[in-house]
């Protein structure tokens, strides 16, 4: 009987229909940052001096060749980067440990080779050649470069300035290395959906551009370069999550899925339940997309209903052995799928089997797109509870991600009403907060049970308004109208 590889199917779907591989539960914002920066800059840096000075020891206690303290001191002296009469060897080593922790603040430095490190820093000299888990960053960087070039050009400008605190610490060695051009490959250019965008993708790209352009003007008025980059990366991570949740609508006429922000302080309110429902619908949409994608690949391989009925249990990787318990579970799922498709047509059978393959991959693979989305959302403070171990999530935002998203909706020195803010949050970011009948309708239109009524959503908006006032982003006027404003900070 035919046996096909689920891993190969998964790779083909990601390559043709997604643009990156959302398959690791270890993704971090710093991986998104490095990938995006490299594409936006169109170049990378070998960072020889930074690696020499800041990498002391790996997690297993290994010291890379050439990075012993005596060798580092010799290197610094040869490059006139240190006056050895003014500082002891012990002080240099302590300083190096501090630098390693500084550049590994987001835990993205797994080794000294480029493919194993992603620095937590904000200048071109820290953007190294391609490393692991950076393909999604490259994808969003390409979207910014094509669909929001003004934001990309601004980020490129500030990355080429070494005037931030981290860069200044490395000033004696920061330029030690070579700049290498990066092929200006835009990952989305080869994706099926972008070849002939449907209305859903066109709508998303317009909202993406509008949000990014507004953020660009906000960043120009922010006084801190590293904070600007932080807000930018939070925007990138959010847009990746939103892109994943909308993949179904880009190919198979799925619905736009709103995100309800919960400001009820984590209480078991109707709003928190509805926010949790919104989250669960996002990952169900992702699963349906992958089922559809697997069906497309099965069709390409020539599988109809009869072929699938004759096929043996698929394996994740050919040649890889699985334990008896897992094999029994996968066999049972495959046999159930065969029973289900017995009376279906070819297209229905492929889709049903695609959903079964998606479920089987969740058992056999080390990670899954839903896990990827949950990990990234948890890392940026978009999801609550704030640990990746809790699979039931809702959208409770940390202040910095909330600030980033608000800066996508209000221009510097612009004053808007709460009603205008609600419209921009929804139209640019797919976010609902509550406060109007229209927000309740947007949630009802998703076609599932909705727990929060208009009154509960109105209370949620009041709590949202209080949060904005605490952050000094809003003012309650005597006539009861709330105004939202980000003043120019430069």
Residues 366 and 459 grouped into a single domain: no
Tell me if 17 is assigned to some domain: no
Q: Which residues contact 389 (CB under 8 A, 6 or more apart)?
A: none
Residues 50 and 186 grouped into a single domain: yes
Residues 79 and 183 grouped into a single domain: yes
Residues 432 and 356 grouped into a single domain: no
Q: What is the pLDDT of residues 265-312, one digit of tens each?
A: 766 788 998 999 999 999 899 999 999 999 999 999 999 999 999 999
Q: What is the pLDDT of residues 383-417, one digit of tens each?
A: 998 876 777 899 999 999 999 999 999 999 888 88
Residues 41 and 68 grouped into a single domain: yes
| pLDDT classification of 490: cutoffs 50, 70, 90 | very low
Q: Is the pLDDT of residue 488 over 60?
A: no
Tell me if 125 is assigned to some domain: yes
Residues 51 and 179 grouped into a single domain: yes
Residues 325 and 381 grouped into a single domain: no
Last residue of a domain, one of 342, 372, 402: 372
Distance of alpha carbon 41 from alpha carbon 141, whole angstroms: 9
Residues 359 and 384 grouped into a single domain: no
Residues 49 and 157 grouped into a single domain: yes
Eight-class DSSP state of 125: G
The DSSP-derived string for 145-200 is HHH-HHHHHHHHHHHT---SHHHHHTTTTTT-S-EEE-----GGGG-HHHHS--HH
What order of strands is seen across the sheet that includes strand 482-485?
415-417, 482-485, 474-476
**Which range is most confident: 18-22, 264-268, 484-488?**
18-22
- How many separate domains does the chain show? 3
Eight-class DSSP state of 486: B
Distance of alpha carbon 145 from alpha carbon 155, whole angstroms: 10
Tell me if 416 is assigned to some domain: yes
- The SS3 of residue 323 is coil
Tell me if 172 is assigned to some domain: yes
Distance of alpha carbon 284 from alpha carbon 373, whole angstroms: 12
- The SS3 of residue 343 is coil
Give the range of the structural domain holding residue 316, as residue numbers without chain letter. Answer: 285-372
Average pLDDT over residues 414-438: 91
Eight-class DSSP state of 311: P
Query: Measured between alpha carbons, how far is residue 320 from residues 5, 7, 310 in Å?
Result: 10, 11, 22
| pLDDT classification of 476: cutoffs 50, 70, 90 | confident
Average pLDDT over residues 460-480: 85
Tell me if 280 is assigned to some domain: yes
Residues 268 and 295 grouped into a single domain: no
Partner residues linked to 480 by β-bridges: none
Distance of alpha carbon 383 from alpha carbon 262, whole angstroms: 10
Last residue of a domain, one of 190, 219, 236: 190
Residues 120 and 265 grouped into a single domain: no
Last residue of a domain, one of 164, 190, 216: 190
- The SS3 of residue 482 is strand
- The SS3 of residue 422 is helix
The DSSP-derived string for 353-375 is HHHHHHHHHHHHSS--HHHHHHH
Q: Are 55 and 277 in contact (CB under 8 A)?
A: no
pLDDT at 479: 62
Tell me if 440 is assigned to some domain: yes
Residues 332 and 263 grouped into a single domain: no
Tell me if 140 is assigned to some domain: yes
């Amino acid at each position: 009987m035919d046996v096909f590889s689920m891993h190969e199917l998964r790779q083909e779907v990601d390559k043709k229909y997604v643009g990156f591989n959302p398959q690791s539960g270890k993704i971090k914002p710093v991986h998104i940052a490095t990938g995006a920066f490299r594409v936006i800059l169109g170049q990378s840096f070998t960072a020889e001096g930074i690696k020499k000075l800041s990498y002391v020891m790996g997690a297993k206690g290994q010291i890379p060749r050439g990075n012993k303290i005596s060798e580092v001191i010799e290197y610094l002296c040869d490059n006139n980067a240190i006056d050895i009469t003014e500082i002891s060897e012990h002080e240099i080593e302590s300083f190096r440990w501090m630098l390693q922790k500084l550049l590994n603040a987001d835990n993205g430095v797994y080794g000294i080779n480029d493919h194993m490190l992603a620095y937590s820093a904000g200048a071109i000299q820290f953007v190294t050649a391609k490393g692991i888990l950076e393909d999604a960053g490259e994808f969003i960087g390409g979207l910014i470069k094509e669909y929001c070039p003004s934001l990309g050009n601004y980020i490129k400008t500030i990355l080429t300035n070494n005037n931030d605190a981290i860069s200044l610490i490395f000033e004696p060695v920061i330029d030690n290395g070579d700049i290498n051009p990066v092929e200006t490959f835009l990952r989305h250019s080869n994706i099926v959906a972008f070849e002939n965008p449907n209305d859903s993708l066109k709508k998303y790209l317009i909202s993406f551009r509008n949000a990014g352009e507004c953020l660009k003007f906000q960043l120009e008025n922010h006084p801190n370069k590293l904070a600007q980059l932080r807000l930018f990366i939070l925007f990138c991570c959010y847009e990746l999550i939103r892109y994943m949740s909308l993949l179904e609508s880009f190919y198979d006429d799925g619905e736009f899925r709103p995100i309800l922000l919960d400001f009820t302080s984590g209480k078991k309110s109707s709003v928190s339940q509805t926010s949790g429902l919104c989250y669960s619908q996002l990952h169900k949409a992702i699963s349906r997309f992958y089922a559809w994608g697997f069906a497309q690949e099965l069709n390409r391989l020539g599988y109809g209903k009869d072929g699938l009925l004759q096929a043996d249990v698929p394996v994740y990787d050919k040649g890889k052995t699985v334990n008896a318990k897992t094999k029994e579970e996968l066999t049972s799922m495959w046999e159930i799928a065969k029973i289900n498709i017995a009376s279906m047509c070819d297209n229905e059978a492929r889709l049903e089997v695609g959903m079964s393959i998606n479920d089987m991959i969740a058992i056999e693979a080390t990670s899954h797109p839903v896990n990827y989305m949950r990990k990234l959302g948890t890392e940026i403070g978009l999801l609550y509870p704030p640990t990746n171990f809790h699979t039931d999530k809702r959208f409770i935002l940390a202040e910095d991600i909330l600030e980033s998203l608000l800066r996508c909706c209000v221009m510097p020195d612009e004053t808007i009403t709460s009603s205008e803010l609600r419209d921009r949050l929804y139209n640019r970011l797919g976010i609902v907060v509550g406060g109007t009948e229209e927000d309740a309708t947007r949630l009802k239109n998703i076609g599932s049970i909705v727990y929060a009524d208009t009154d509960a959503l109105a209370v949620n908006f009041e709590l949202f308004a209080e949060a904005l006032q605490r952050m000094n982003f809003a003012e309650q006027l005597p006539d009861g109208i709330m105004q939202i404003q980000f003043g120019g900070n430069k």
